[in-house]
Structure 1
């Protein structure tokens, strides 16, 4: 690159033979005294070494020679000044190339080196060649580094040392040597050319911005060195880092044309710091919506507080983290913080625990456990002055004063510092927790957080935790959740893949391997479609835990097309501060259709659907179990469903809209159906026939309705006469209310098909 050619710059001073009026004995600025007519200066028309030249006698302590013309200077321009000189008589002086750098207004540029290396003349008649390079950047071989301030300069030389000596000076040459530095870097703009120093302490932010402004589509080069940037820097052009940068924690480096991990890892000299800085910028500029890890692995040694990194607590624009692996490495920062404190809980203030000492020691995001506390209850907020914490979900049976334990798990990506975060997505990522940490903690509040096509691998405690309503409308699609407890017996596992508190979760096409629970879901309006969750072990007659736990009574939820393997669905109201029925919606709104249920080597008491009311008076009001395939391997179970009566039973007299039909059963001793068609044969004439369909009815419920009676063959009297009477029906008969009576006008016998329901269908 030759800017003298490309930019049309006039660099060379005129020869001395043109006259000495153009040469100043001062600093070269307009109005200074020239050498024309001076007694100590003369033109020599023909020197044996130089041809035409200037003969100069040293008469001053520092004898200056400066060209009065303005030699142009600009960032990125490197000029080599060459002077040939020889001593001809008298004391031998010291000589050096020198110049006066000037601002555009003519003022002197201060604070820069304005002279080249000094050379002692040692012999008469010996031609000595002086060279010095002038440039904007601190590049190898540059004697005078001027940065970006000068607009032009007055070139020349200085004589120092003893007076009286006479020297002859050949015409001064100035040539563009920018190609020395740019020949291998065509299309690059070097930040050093714009004043960057790269010593790790000088603030180079302005130089970086200036280089980017000049790049105009070319690539900005950050060469070897450590460049300190004390403020935000944005590159609007491509940038390449051979050196590194250091910045304050709150300053951002925005690489708008290279917004991916490779660039940030190179910029900060560390994949982890590069990842952190890229994630920081993702929330703070609009040129990109995704941060691409380019398939790289980042070792993470401590929780990443994303909100603190971003410097904000609310964000509502779509952002995406994609294409890489975060790998947890051992560090004490992953240790769980645990504190047990006595507090008071009241059902009239169901989301708060009061009277807590040392609330400052209870972290936001800590899981709460204790008597009467349901699964997956977290600290959403804390008020240190008031001694209270706000909970993600109410407690079902903890009224009064008692101890509570708070455990703060450590998460690789912790979004809990966001008061509100919307539309954040993670795709094509693996969070490799290695049994050291949990994976993702969601924000306190938010909308449509999305995890897709990713792997959460071996979390220590939790895969995804919601501590508030940051799970509203969550989208969990086509992921794998791989437990760190796969070798353990099922009943000993404690890790949970995910929990949801808010409504409208979409959980689809995921594969979940051997957790204590796949999902604890506390909201309504959910869709669980196409998931395969299996939680078996190698134990004979093994105990199994719930795969999906619903903690809300009225679900408005669809489960379809799932593969439910060695685990079950548990439906409770453990997040209800008043768990007894009190004229609210009871257990209802759940559709379980077209799923595969399987169990291997389980005890006969195993069930795939368990309803567990925490208080009395509840009933089923809208449950459809249709089109499913149930199958056991290596043993049989008694039936597929039950009520867990540990705390309370259901009110079977209030069942409504409960349908179990079109299911298939293999390896199950007793099928379940409602409506169920009972084939009743009455061999002796009787006016009252007792029809028993009890074993078929869901949850061993009551026989609450008969919707059809069809005679199969003739109904005859005791004498064998055909009868065409219709019976009337008495429901809820027998000690268990699980039989129906058919009452005929006269004693008859025969066979009928009776359709019995456990509910009132209307």
Structure 2
């Protein structure tokens, strides 16, 4: 590269023969004196060594010679200033290349070196060549490294040493020697060529920005060294790191062409710091929505507080982290915080604890444990001055003052500091908790977070936690959840794969292995499809636990196409501050369709569908269980469903819109259905027939309606005379309400098929 050729730069000062008025005896700046007419300066045209030269007598301590012409100084330009001199009489001086550095405003940049190394003249008549290289870059071989501020120079030389000597000076030559430092046709620029020092302390921000601006599609090279950047830096060209960076924690590095973990890891020397810096930039960088972890593992020894890292509490633009592993390295930073405190609860403020002792120590995001507290209730916020704690859900049975335990788990990625965060996604990520920590804590509020093809490996407490409405519309698709408690009996497990606090969540095509529970789900409008969750163990006649827990009465939820293995669906209202029926929607809107239910080596008391009301007066009002397959291995269970009456029961006089049909049962003693179809044979003539649904009615309900009565063969009197009457029906008779009476108006006998229902439309 030669900018005198490629860019038309005028580098050479004028020859002395053009006139000594063009040469300054000062700095070369306008107004400084020239050598025109000076007694100690003359032009010599017939010197045997020089075609034409300046003869100069040294009369000052540092005799200056500078060109009035301005020689440009540019980034990436290396200039060699060369002069040939000889002593002809008098004292022998020393000679050094010198140049006055000027900034864009015409002022001298006094901080830079403006004179090269001195060369002593030792013999009269000997031609001595003196040179020095001037450049912005601080490289080996550069005598005058000027950085980014100077933009031009008045080049020349100084005579130093004793006065009185006479020297002759050939024309000063300025040439572009950039090729000495940078090969021709290079496809990169080096930040050192723009003044970067890489000493770990000097701020190299300006040099990095200048190199990036000049690259114009070429790669920016960061050579070995530690380069300090004290400001936000955006690099718009590709960049390669041989050295590393040092930046304040609140400053951002944005690599627009290398937005991946490999590049950030190289930039900051470690993958953990690279990940932190890349994640920080993700919230500010608009050209990329995805941070690629390059298929690499990032070892974390402590949780990453994403809100604190980003400096934000609200963000709603789609962002994605993909293709890597976050690995928890054991250490004290993962220890669960636990605080016990006394507080008061009232249904007048259903999501608030008041009078909380030691409230300052209650961690936000902590799980709340206590009598009358439903599962997966968390601390949303606290008010120290008021002594209150805001809860994610109401408490079903905690009115009064009592102790509570607050347990704050630690997560690989903690988004709990976000008041609002939406559309944050993970793809092809492994959250490798390895029994040290939990996976991801969702933001306090927000919508449509997404986990796609992720693996949660051995979370110690939770894989995904919601402490508020940050799970609204969440997608969890094609993920695998591997428990840290796989060898522990199901009854002793404590780890939960996830919980849901809001509405419209999609859980699809996931595989969940041996957790205490797959999901504790509040809210409505959920789609739970094609998941395989299994929670068995090797215990003989082992106790099984709920896989899917629904905590609201009217759920408007579809559970379809799942493989539900050695666990059950539990449906209750434990997040209701007034759990008794109070003219709200009761248990309804649940559709369990086309699932495979299995169990093995379990107790005969095991059930796959459990309804558990936490207060009296509730009833079924819209429930469908159709097309499912129930099968038991190495055991027999009594039936598939259960009404848990440990707290309250259902009012079966109000049951409506229940559909239980088309299911298959293997190794199940009692099938269930609604409508119930009974073939009744009356061998003794009677006016009233009592037709029993026995235990076919789901959940032990009662008969509320007789849909049809169809005789099979003749209805006859005791004497065998055929009769053609049509009976009236009285549903809900018998001690348990599971019978219907058919009243014929006379004593008859025969066989009928009766279709009865536990509900009414």
Q: State TM-score, norm by structure 1.
A: 0.97
State the alpha-carbon separation in 2 of the partners of residues 667 and 180 from structure 1: 87
Q: What is the RMSD of the two structures over their aligned residues, measured on CA atoms?
A: 1.8
**Cα distance, 1:151 vs structure 2:** 2.9
CA contact (8 A) 1:439 1:459 kept: yes
SS in 1 for 2:333: helix
2:283 paired with 1:272? no
State the alpha-carbon separation in 1 of the partners of residues 231 and 185 from structure 2: 28
Which residue in 2 is equivalent to 1:103?
103
CA contact (8 A) 1:205 1:228 kept: yes
State the alpha-carbon separation in 2 of the partners of residues 631 and 357 from structure 1: 51
Which residue in 2 is equivalent to 1:512?
512
SS in 2 for 1:653: coil
Which residue in 2 is equivalent to 1:554?
554
State the alpha-carbon separation in 2 of the partners of residues 245 and 556 from structure 1: 53
Which residue in 1 is equivalent to 2:361?
361
- Describe the shift of the 1:125–1:339 C-alpha distance in structure 2 as closer, same or farther (beyond 3 A): same
CA contact (8 A) 1:694 1:702 kept: no
Which residue in 1 is equivalent to 2:610?
610
Which residue in 2 is equivalent to 1:212?
212
Which residue in 2 is equivalent to 1:477?
477
Which residue in 1 is equivalent to 2:92?
92
Which residue in 2 is equivalent to 1:232?
232
SS in 2 for 1:470: strand
State the alpha-carbon separation in 2 of the partners of residues 735 and 676 from structure 1: 18
**Cα distance, 1:198 vs structure 2:** 2.4
SS in 1 for 2:444: coil
Number of matched pairs: 761
**Cα distance, 1:584 vs structure 2:** 1.4
State the alpha-carbon separation in 2 of the partners of residues 295 and 37 from structure 1: 75
Which residue in 2 is equivalent to 1:8?
8
Superposed counterparts of 1:724-735, under 5 Å: 724-735=724-735
2:567 paired with 1:582? no
- Describe the shift of the 1:113–1:682 C-alpha distance in structure 2 as closer, same or farther (beyond 3 A): same
State the alpha-carbon separation in 2 of the partners of residues 32 and 759 from structure 1: 109
**Cα distance, 1:18 vs structure 2:** 4.4
Superposed counterparts of 1:605-754, under 5 Å: 605-754=605-754
- Describe the shift of the 1:308–1:165 C-alpha distance in structure 2 as closer, same or farther (beyond 3 A): same
**Cα distance, 1:243 vs structure 2:** 2.3
Which residue in 2 is equivalent to 1:392?
392
2:346 paired with 1:338? no
SS in 2 for 1:523: coil
CA contact (8 A) 1:694 1:703 kept: no
**Cα distance, 1:458 vs structure 2:** 1.0
**Cα distance, 1:547 vs structure 2:** 0.4
**Cα distance, 1:598 vs structure 2:** 0.7
State the alpha-carbon separation in 2 of the partners of residues 348 and 34 from structure 1: 94
Superposed counterparts of 1:92-491, under 5 Å: 92-183=92-183, 186-491=186-491
**Cα distance, 1:58 vs structure 2:** 2.2
CA shift digits 1:93-124 (9 cap, x unpaired) = 22211011223454322211101112233344
Which residue in 2 is equivalent to 1:57?
57
Which residue in 1 is equivalent to 2:83?
83
**Cα distance, 1:19 vs structure 2:** 4.5
**Cα distance, 1:379 vs structure 2:** 0.1
**Cα distance, 1:320 vs structure 2:** 1.3
Stretch of structure 1 that moved more, 145-154 or 519-528: 145-154
CA contact (8 A) 1:43 1:53 kept: yes
**Cα distance, 1:185 vs structure 2:** 7.6
Stretch of structure 1 that moved more, 309-318 or 221-230: 221-230
**Cα distance, 1:83 vs structure 2:** 2.4
Stretch of structure 1 that moved more, 246-255 or 511-520: 246-255
SS in 1 for 2:669: coil
State the alpha-carbon separation in 2 of the partners of residues 213 and 45 from structure 1: 47
SS in 2 for 1:83: strand
**Cα distance, 1:31 vs structure 2:** 4.1
Superposed counterparts of 1:561-572, under 5 Å: 561-572=561-572
SS in 2 for 1:142: coil
Which residue in 1 is equivalent to 2:27?
27
State the alpha-carbon separation in 1 of the partners of residues 105 and 679 from structure 2: 109
SS in 2 for 1:696: coil
CA shift digits 1:328-361 (9 cap, x unpaired) = 1112111100000011111111101111122111
**Cα distance, 1:17 vs structure 2:** 4.5
**Cα distance, 1:12 vs structure 2:** 2.1
Stretch of structure 1 that moved more, 620-629 or 180-189: 180-189
State the alpha-carbon separation in 1 of the partners of residues 573 and 55 from structure 2: 105
Stretch of structure 1 that moved more, 155-164 or 221-230: 221-230
State the alpha-carbon separation in 1 of the partners of residues 180 and 59 from structure 2: 38
State the alpha-carbon separation in 2 of the partners of residues 319 and 105 from structure 1: 45
**Cα distance, 1:46 vs structure 2:** 4.8
Stretch of structure 1 that moved more, 378-387 or 356-365: 356-365
State the alpha-carbon separation in 1 of the partners of residues 450 and 694 from structure 2: 45
Which residue in 2 is equivalent to 1:573?
573
State the alpha-carbon separation in 1 of the partners of residues 129 and 296 from structure 2: 54
State the alpha-carbon separation in 1 of the partners of residues 424 and 256 from structure 2: 20
**Cα distance, 1:53 vs structure 2:** 3.5
State the alpha-carbon separation in 1 of the partners of residues 59 and 536 from structure 2: 101
SS in 1 for 2:472: coil
State the alpha-carbon separation in 2 of the partners of residues 81 and 416 from structure 1: 62
State the alpha-carbon separation in 2 of the partners of residues 282 and 175 from structure 1: 46
**Structure 1: where are the runs of 5+ without partners?**
none
SS in 2 for 1:440: strand
State the alpha-carbon separation in 1 of the partners of residues 151 and 699 from structure 2: 91
CA shift digits 1:197-243 (9 cap, x unpaired) = 32222222233333333333333333322222222222233333332
Which residue in 2 is equivalent to 1:498?
498
SS in 1 for 2:564: strand
State the alpha-carbon separation in 2 of the partners of residues 577 and 307 from structure 1: 32
SS in 1 for 2:469: coil
State the alpha-carbon separation in 1 of the partners of residues 6 and 568 from structure 2: 77
Stretch of structure 1 that moved more, 365-374 or 205-214: 205-214
SS in 2 for 1:381: strand
- Describe the shift of the 1:670–1:339 C-alpha distance in structure 2 as closer, same or farther (beyond 3 A): same
State the alpha-carbon separation in 2 of the partners of residues 527 and 581 from structure 1: 26
Stretch of structure 1 that moved more, 11-20 or 712-721: 11-20
SS in 1 for 2:206: helix
State the alpha-carbon separation in 2 of the partners of residues 84 and 253 from structure 1: 48
SS in 1 for 2:750: strand
**Cα distance, 1:16 vs structure 2:** 3.6
Stretch of structure 1 that moved more, 718-727 or 368-377: 718-727
State the alpha-carbon separation in 2 of the partners of residues 488 and 202 from structure 1: 57
State the alpha-carbon separation in 1 of the partners of residues 708 and 750 from structure 2: 16
CA contact (8 A) 1:694 1:701 kept: no
